[in-house]
Amino acid sequence: MTVMAGTTRSREAKSHIYKAISTHMQAQLSKAAWQMLNTFLPYFALWGLMVITIRQGLPYWVTLLLAIPAAGLHIRIFIFFHDCVHGSFFDSQRANRILGYISGILTFTPFEQWRRSHAIHHATVGDLDRRGTGDVWTLTVDEYLALPTWKRALYRAYRNPVILFLIGPVLIFTIGHRIPHKGSKRIEQFSVLFTDLALVALIGVASLTFGFRTYVLIQLPILFISGSLGVWMFYVQHQFDGGYWARHEAWDPLTASLAGSSYYKLPRVLQWFTGSIGLHHVHHVQPRIPNYNLQDCNDAVPEFRTIEPLTIRSSLRSLRMNLWDETRERFVSFRSLRPQPLKS
């Protein structure tokens, strides 16, 4: 990935970038309202159509076809949730919190708990000495080779695409988010309990209205598709060929944002469904930029335009990005390791 010369930017360069992006941080009610209309209305309309397909006894593949665009809208709702977590979707923080809780219920994610872990992710991205919260489990080559056999196998299983992108997301959203994190504060525990109770009520109403079986046949494929694609998006945002990780004493937050956060250039329709979150380098430089301003900000700041984008095709190489090699300062695959005696 091409970035500005030097691993640590000068104060002048940082000042220039932050000044250039400041005009794009302002939330706009008209844009936020339009996004809500063009997302929530078709999402619930598709839900209604899926209920009809099942109640009318149509082949289940018809329901599954409708689940694809519904899952895309589900991802877009999560982007609204994500913006509310950063307090960027609306000017009003109360409005951000209200929509954050509502969109969190629809996406099975407790607002306050996720906000805390995500804030830690932003504060520590690319820092090898502060890994472990709100990110993908990542080991260095030396750390991996020092592990006993069973823990190497565990790490390999976690990094297996079937586990990471197919099984894991469903477990995270259906089970993992239902439990408060260890050491969580009271407000975070409250958000988990509130989201859980709201989901119980929502599922109860749906069961009484059109049946629990119908609810599951609709919600599960939506959650499976959106969860898998969402986790893939999160993964490729920081696990890609090149990338950036450094020990804390050498870690630079701006470099971590520009070199350690990808520019995932997607086709326009996919960029719409994902709320431009593929412009992740812009988002990490300034998380307070709402999703509807990310593209304009990227186009306006010359430093952002120097970033080499990932395409869908080139991003598939990220599947082999299993370990961080501190010597070569890049991700490497398990296969690239020379045979080493395993510890018992």
The angle subtended at Cα 21 by Cα 19 and Cα 24, nearest 5°, is 130
Predicted structure pTM score: 0.92
Element (H, E) at 293: none
Residue of 218 and 9 predicted with greater confidence: 218
Q: What is the pLDDT of residue 20?
A: 86
Please write the tens of the pLDDT for every residue from 152-211. 999 999 999 999 999 999 999 999 999 999 889 999 999 999 999 999 999 999 999 999
Angstrom distance (rounded) from CA 18 to CA 89:
19
Residues 217, 59 contacting (CB under 8 angstroms): no
- The 10 Å CB-count burial string (b at 16+, else e) for 205-224 is ebeeebeeebbebbbebbbb
Mean pLDDT of the chain: 93
Please write the tens of the pLDDT for every residue from 222-263. 999 999 999 999 999 999 988 899 999 999 999 999 999 999
Average pLDDT over residues 304-319: 93
Q: What is the pLDDT of residue 14?
A: 74
Share of residues in the chain with pLDDT > 70 (%): 94
Question: Could you tell me the two tokens for 93?
Answer: 């923080």
Does the pLDDT at position 11 exceed 90? no
Please write the tens of the pLDDT for every residue from 54-83. 999 999 999 999 999 999 999 999 999 999
Residue type, 286: Q
Does the pLDDT at position 325 exceed 70? yes
Share of residues in the chain with pLDDT > 90 (%): 87
User: For the chain, what are the domain ranges?
Assistant: 28-253+313-336
Residues 66, 221 contacting (CB under 8 angstroms): no
Residue of 340 and 114 predicted with greater confidence: 114
Does the pLDDT at position 4 exceed 60? no
